[in-house]
Structure 1
């Protein structure tokens, strides 16, 4: 498979993943599926926008670059037929690094949020939410969950969405890492499709 075709496949895969991350981050603004009266009732890590900025907006740029690699003009640069394609593949490595940084940011935020747990109401404090758990103790001791009375089924909501962000971020890092390798191969060896050869044949 040509390096350009492989990059296009990666770009097609990254776009829906980025959309999923953005949607997850938006849903986290509605703890337990409820509209809260004050923003202080929302988990702090939600406002770091790991899914919207890290795995969302920052991931769109490399995805679009990967999609466009196949259609890049690969001919005519300093008399070297393949240097245009080689430069495009090299630039894709830089955008892949941006993607890794963005997804990495989302993964870190998700890990911190999962460890801290959500903000909860308790039977002794129904006016304001607070961090009821510490150091991920609720993950191994589910009996602690009953101490959290809301909003809604906040613990399941919190864990599900942040776990999706975590797993999606890891997949995005893997895909961008593949493009770094693919880009290096394309930079060194050029694209195997040989569009310049086709052009010369037609001429």
Structure 2
């Protein structure tokens, strides 16, 4: 596939993924669409870190915007006229392609950071109000990470991961449906960031070819 055509495919794909990542990360701050828990500070640390906003979002969108503009800039009559003027394949300046490589590396790092943080957030589970049993206090409702706390109570308490034991999800009293909200959005962010890493790596290779060989749209 020509370098220019590849850029016109990768760029819009990264734009869509970056937008979805930003939206999913913001939604994590508003369980069930309510802002009350964010204002009260009852949002998990990994959700407050909004990795999908700065990692899978802004970093990726910067690269996506440049790659998309670069790809379409080389297409159509404009590309043909440049080819006739001697500025096509043989005379292409490598600077735009080189910048796309730099921005794609930034996107790759951002998506990788998002992937790691979302993986940890998914493993730890959500912050919620749940009934806990503490020595001398009996059963008391408190805010915390019930599924993460289970790891501190020995192997019997963590025999089953909460992701595979949906019956355990009812331990969270507030926010309503927080476990489903947490699992779905963090899983979505994992898939998005993985796809972003693949596309960013592809664009890095594509940009390097553009620096060395130029675009081939006018062929």
User: Shorter-chain-normalised TM-score: which range?
Assistant: 0.7 to 0.9
Q: Which runs of 5+ in 1 are unaligned?
A: 196-203
Q: Distance in 2 between matches of 1:118 and 1:53?
A: 21
Is residue 2:147 matched to residue 1:133?
A: yes
**For 1:42, what is the secondary structure of its paired residue?**
coil
Residue pair 2:18, 2:60 contacting (<8 A) in 1 also: yes
> Structure 1 length normalisation: TM-score?
0.83
Q: Distance in 1 between matches of 2:182 and 2:26?
A: 12
**For 1:122, what is the secondary structure of its paired residue?**
strand
Which residue of structure 1 lines up, in the alignment, with residue 102 of structure 2? 94
> Structure 2 length normalisation: TM-score?
0.78
> Which structure 1 residue ranges, 4+ long, deviate > 4 Å from structure 2?
72-77
Name the stretch that deviates more: 140-149 or 14-23: 140-149
Alignment of 1:152-191 (within 5 A): 152-191=176-215
**For 2:53, what is the secondary structure of its paired residue?**
helix
Alignment of 1:1-203 (within 5 A): 1-37=1-37, 38-70=39-71, 71=73, 81-84=90-93, 86-123=94-131, 124-126=139-141, 128-134=142-148, 137-194=161-218
Q: How big is each residue's C-alpha offset from its partner over 1:1-39, in whole Å with a ceiling of 9 and x where there is no partner?
A: 421121121111111211111111111111244333544
**For 1:41, what is the secondary structure of its paired residue?**
coil
Q: Which runs of 5+ in 2 are unaligned?
A: 132-138, 152-157
Q: Distance in 2 between matches of 1:125 and 1:82?
A: 73
Name the stretch that deviates more: 32-41 or 139-148: 32-41
**For 1:92, what is the secondary structure of its paired residue?**
helix
